[in-house]
């Protein structure tokens, strides 16, 4: 066991105990300390059954039942199982427990025990259920519309004039776009959660991107006088992912229109020197409205999944979660506060970045 790198376990989010062939604990990582409420200095060197006494749903001693150092030598692991701590500071605590057997031939040299708080698993399951429920709800309406209009056109094509057919097909097209946006949001959430966002950096004109976003909203029917884009000062050369930046603008503007009132104002200005940015600059962007604003007690939940404000004005509640993920993928920050006019103000800061290759 002298060659075991004990520090490799320190940054793991799950608790880990490593037990040697003498059945004593040799590794007890910080996550395990938090879960069991004891320090590594009081645990290392003790018998693992004393450190982690576990019982199953019937109250049976888990280590007696599984007998890690006996039993069949072909065993390599114990699948995850919900167990309860039966002693010590964490007595009564429910944990998800896995065990991996590291063998040399038929001899067990190392037992690696993984621990996870059941509350984290339950939160994940609730999030999954919420996501499925939200997706099902959001998909039902446009798909019902698409099905209804296409079935009607196929069955009664000759009964409608060209104007009526155009109206129905326009509605079908808009609902298809809505489904596409929803699926794109789900893919974005999946990539953000998995840390798999791909960045394709190039020089981005932030004011131009903001004006393009506004032009798209005006083309879709929003009055042009409801938008103001202001640029203060000269921006540095910004190396960003243009698609993701346009998505950030789009989500923030849509949020202001959906949940706010009055004029939507976008202000872009150069940032002061930013920590950790070798270029020594960046940009600060604010998107504000003139609505009721966001109460301080709910501001901390704005960038979480499924937040839709108190009025429930439609949407999946994923837009601001995606905004946070995309901004942070650029090593930026985003926050929400109160606009000068009293509405909500979203402020994000982006480092100028650098080209992905030498030019």
Same domain, 98 and 129: no
Tens of pLDDT along 339-352? 887 889 999 999 98
pLDDT at 289: 93
pLDDT value at 223 more than 90: yes
Q: Is residue 277 part of a domain?
A: yes
- What distance in Å separates the CA atoms of residue 50 and residue 238, rounded to the nearest whole number? 58
CATH at 189 = 1.10.287.130
Q: Is residue 160 part of a domain?
A: yes
**φ/ψ (deg, to 5) at 295:** -60, 145
Range(s) of the domain holding residue 252: 202-351
pLDDT at 277: 47
Same domain, 213 and 330: yes
pLDDT at 358: 47
- Mean pLDDT (whole number) for 281-310: 83
Tens of pLDDT along 57-89? 889 999 999 999 887 888 888 888 889 999 888
Same domain, 210 and 319: yes
Which of 171, 194, 217 corresponds to the end of one domain?
A: 194
pLDDT value at 129 more than 90: no
CATH at 245 = 3.30.565.10
Q: DSSP of 88-110, one letter per residue?
A: STTTT-EEEEEEEEEEETTEEEE
To the question of pTM greater than 0.75 for the whole model, the response is no
Same domain, 48 and 97: yes
Same domain, 223 and 338: yes
Which of 178, 194, 210 corresponds to the end of one domain?
A: 194
User: What are the Cα distances from residue 214, in Å, to 10, 97, 218, 267, 355?
Assistant: 48, 52, 6, 13, 28
């Amino acid at each position: 066991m002298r060659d075991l790198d004990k520090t490799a376990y320190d940054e793991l989010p799950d608790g880990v105990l490593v037990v040697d062939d003498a059945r004593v604990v040799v590794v007890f990582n910080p996550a395990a300390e938090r879960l069991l409420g004891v320090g590594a200095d009081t645990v290392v060197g003790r018998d693992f059954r004393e450190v982690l006494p576990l019982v199953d749903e019937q109250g049976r001693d888990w280590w007696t039942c599984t007998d890690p150092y006996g039993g069949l030598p072909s065993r390599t692991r114990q699948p995850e199982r919900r167990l309860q701590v039966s002693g010590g500071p964490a007595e009564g605590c429910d944990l998800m427990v896995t065990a991996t057997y590291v063998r040399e031939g038929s001899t067990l040299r190392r037992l690696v025990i993984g621990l996870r708080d059941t509350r984290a698993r339950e939160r994940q399951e609730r999030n999954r259920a919420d996501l499925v429920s939200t997706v099902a709800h959001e998909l039902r309406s446009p798909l019902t519309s698409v099905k209804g209009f296409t079935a009607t056109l196929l069955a009664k094509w000759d009964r409608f004039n060209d104007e009526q057919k155009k109206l129905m097909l326009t509605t079908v097209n808009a609902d298809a776009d809505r489904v596409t946006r929803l699926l794109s949001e789900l893919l974005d959430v999946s990539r953000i959660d998995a840390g798999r966002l791909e960045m394709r950096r190039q020089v981005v004109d932030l004011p131009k991107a903001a004006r393009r976003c506004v032009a798209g909203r005006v083309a879709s029917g929003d009055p042009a006088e409801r938008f103001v884009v202001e640029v203060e000062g000269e921006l540095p050369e910004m190396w960003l992912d243009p698609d993701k930046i346009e998505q950030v603008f789009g989500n923030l503007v849509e949020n202001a229109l959906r949940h706010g009132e009055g004029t939507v104002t976008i202000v872009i200005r150069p940032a002061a020197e930013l920590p950790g940015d070798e270029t020594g600059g960046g940009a600060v962007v604010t998107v504000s409205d003139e609505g009721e604003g966001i109460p301080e007690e709910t501001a901390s939940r704005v960038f979480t999944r499924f937040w839709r404000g108190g009025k429930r004005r439609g949407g999946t509640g994923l837009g601001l979660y995606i905004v946070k993920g995309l901004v942070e993928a650029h090593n930026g920050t985003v926050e929400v506060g109160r606009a000068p006019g009293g509405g909500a103000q979203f402020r994000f800061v982006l480092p100028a970045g650098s080209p992905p290759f030498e030019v």
